[in-house]
């Protein structure tokens, strides 16, 4: 059988969606990422971004990136393990460790690569990784790369988690891994109970805080700070592509664990290091987060404003405490139609369909930025209401 046969099958589905002019992917931005962008030659309110604190367009962040290119050039041309470590890599890691209250931090070239690199290094054939069923795809792939046995528990179901932990032989190393804030639904892991069960069954805890860093906790330190459990989480993973307005990822843990991963993680050892501009943009964003904690409160305020406004309009949403507000559309084609109609009205949202959701539970994933205005929200929520009304009338 031709190995490319699967490509032809996929093309048939894509062709049908494109012919209906409801293909929702790869829309090009004609401006930088911000609360309002230019797409399809028109101004568009962006409520599909992970630019939670609005720092991608901050002058201080931009200037830091420009200065880094002038001093260090455009790239590092090698792995951190060999010639690709700059003094600013070390500075960023030190500053993140201090901010998160961990002994050490190491950085990876992307957030996805961070989970691959951490999990494949920490877990091996004699270990068991226990993960929430709604964990990010990068966690799933990292578990596969690790050769550890991978067991899943039902989403945020602590009884199922305990039953899973009970089933693991005592001679196995155990790592419980969970998203802090779940990227599709916006809900938060039950970290207090996860920590309690980890202690009871001798497990370690890793939190993927890609969507929690800069969002949760009084100072934006993430899910562990949100629950007052910063000393109880063994590994914190995070990304630079969201609140830190850059590109890359990191692991925060004890010095011993970080040093171990640095020397055995193949995704880390065999990848080029983060570019100078990305490093300095992330450092500048971190300085702003420390200096301006009011941005975190502004993010909560605007997210709550939108959440309450949608509910008042009768829009069916998934409740959460985060800037991620998913809106039910249920069917795939209706989801694509909704995205098209909203974009035509100057509002960008993300379609979420299986396998990212269960069948029949398709969503519009909306997410908000600290620098959005109430005027932005008022317009967007009205357009969402009107488009959902149109969907109800479709056969």
Determine which one of 89, 102, 211, 334 is catalytic.
211
The Cα 158–Cα 202 span in angstroms is 16
CATH fold of the domain at 59-290: 3.40.640
Pair of tokens at residue 217: 């906790």
pLDDT-derived band at 395 (thresholds 50, 70, 90) equals low
pLDDT tens, position by position, 346-357: 999 999 999 888
Residue 12 pLDDT: 86
Residue 321: how many other CB atoms lie within 10 Å: 16
Residue 364 pLDDT: 97
Determine which one of 58, 89, 226, 242 is catalytic.
242
Confidence (pTM): 0.96
Residue 89 annotated in active site: no
Alpha helices in the chain (DSSP H): 5-19, 59-72, 87-100, 111-122, 137-146, 158-166, 191-201, 223-227, 255-264, 266-269, 276-291, 294-312, 332-344, 374-392
CATH fold of the domain at 19-48+293-392: 3.90.1150
Residue 13 pLDDT: 84
Does residue 370 register a pLDDT over 90? yes
Which of 7-16, 113-122, 382-391 has the lowest average pLDDT? 7-16
Residue 9 pLDDT: 82
Residue positions counted in the chain: 395
Give mean pLDDT, residues 216-222. Answer: 97
Determine which one of 183, 265, 275, 303 is catalytic.
183
pLDDT-derived band at 69 (thresholds 50, 70, 90) equals very high
pLDDT tens, position by position, 48-66: 999 999 999 999 999 999 9
Residue 268 pLDDT: 97
pLDDT tens, position by position, 33-42: 999 999 999 9
pLDDT-derived band at 153 (thresholds 50, 70, 90) equals very high
Pairing of strands 347-348, 42-46: parallel
Residue 254 annotated in active site: no
pLDDT tens, position by position, 108-134: 999 999 999 999 999 999 999 999 999
Mean pLDDT of the chain: 96
Helix axes 294-312, 374-392, angle to 10 degrees: 30
pLDDT tens, position by position, 321-366: 999 999 999 999 999 999 999 999 999 999 999 988 889 999 999 9
Pairing of strands 324-330, 36-39: unpaired
Question: Is the Cβ–Cβ distance between 320 and 189 less than 8 Å?
Answer: no
Give mean pLDDT, residues 62-86. Answer: 97
Q: Where are the domains of the chain?
A: 19-48+293-392, 59-290
Residue 358 pLDDT: 86
Residue 311 pLDDT: 96
Give mean pLDDT, residues 285-297. Answer: 97
Residue 242 annotated in active site: yes
């Amino acid at each position: 059988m031709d190995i490319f046969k699967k490509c032809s099958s996929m093309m048939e589905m894509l062709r049908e969606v494109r012919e209906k002019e409801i293909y929702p992917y790869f829309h090009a931005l004609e401006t930088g990422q911000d609360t309002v962008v230019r797409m399809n030659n028109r101004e568009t309110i962006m409520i599909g971004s992970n630019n939670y604190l609005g720092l991608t367009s901050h002058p201080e962040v931009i200037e830091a990136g420009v200065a880094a290119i002038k001093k260090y050039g455009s790239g590092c041309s090698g792995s951190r393990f060999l010639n690709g470590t700059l003094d600013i890599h070390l500075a960023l890691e030190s500053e993140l460790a201090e901010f998160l209250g961990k002994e050490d931090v190491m950085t990876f070239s992307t957030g996805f690569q961070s989970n691959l690199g951490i999990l494949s290094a920490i877990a091996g054939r004699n270990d068991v990784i226990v993960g929430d069923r709604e964990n990010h795809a990068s966690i799933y792939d990292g578990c596969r790369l690790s050769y550890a046995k991978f067991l899943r528990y039902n989403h945020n179901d602590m009884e199922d988690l305990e039953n899973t932990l009970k089933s693991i032989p005592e001679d196995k190393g155990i790592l419980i891994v969970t998203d802090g804030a779940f990227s599709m639904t916006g809900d938060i892991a039950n970290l207090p109970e996860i920590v309690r069960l980890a202690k009871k069954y001798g497990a370690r805890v890793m939190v993927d805080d890609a969507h929690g860093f800069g969002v949760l906790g009084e100072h934006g330190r993430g899910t562990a700070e949100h629950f007052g459990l910063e000393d109880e989480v063994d590994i914190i993973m995070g990304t630079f592509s969201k609140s830190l307005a850059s590109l890359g990822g990191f692991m925060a843990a004890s010095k011993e664990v970080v040093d171990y991963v640095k020397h055995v993680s193949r995704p880390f050892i065999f990848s080029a290091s983060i570019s100078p501009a990305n490093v300095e943009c992330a450092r500048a964003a971190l300085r702003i987060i420390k200096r301006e904690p009011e941005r975190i409160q502004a993010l909560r305020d605007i997210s709550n404003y939108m959440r309450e406004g949608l509910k008042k309009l009768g829009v069916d949403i998934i409740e959460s405490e985060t800037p991620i507000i998913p809106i039910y559309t249920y069917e795939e084609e209706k989801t694509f139609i909704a995205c098209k109609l909203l974009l035509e009205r100057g509002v960008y949202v993300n379609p979420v369909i299986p396998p990212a959701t269960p069948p029949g539970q398709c969503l519009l994933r909306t997410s908000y930025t600290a620098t959005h205005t109430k005027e932005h929200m008022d317009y967007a929520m009205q357009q969402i209401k009107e488009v959902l009304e149109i969907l109800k009338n479709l056969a």
